[in-house]
Structure 1
């Protein structure tokens, strides 16, 4: 029985080693300077947030007995 590609080792190809600093520079990332950098308007109202939190709590405790 022959293999389709004799050079294929079954492992992903090796990538060149790149430092964290080089990866960050390539993505043009900036450091987080304050919590405001992380702020997002995910929920339109406090009620919507409360519904989400209640749902999440209920799902996490659904099969706990």
Structure 2
């Protein structure tokens, strides 16, 4: 009499392999046609953008000296 083998959870179960085109179609994506497609209004004002850039610059150069 044999006992069932324990399940192996060390590897995730295999999923069917999809092509890039199939994955994009499943998510109903559209190609980027211009840079305007990537534009986002992240900052409410030019001053807020300037503050962010100054902070980022300072943080990147904080430990350089």
TM-score tier, shorter chain, comes to 0.7 to 0.9
Mapping 1:1-65, distance limit 5 Å: 6-65=6-65
- Tell me how many residue pairs correspond in the alignment: 61
Structure 1 or 2, whichever has the larger Rg, is 2
Mark the runs of 5 or more structure 1 residues left unpaired by the alignment: none
Query: What is the TM-score normalised by the length of structure 2?
Result: 0.84
Shift of 1:21: 0.1
Shift >2 Å, 4+ stretches: none
> Displacement, 1:22?
0.1
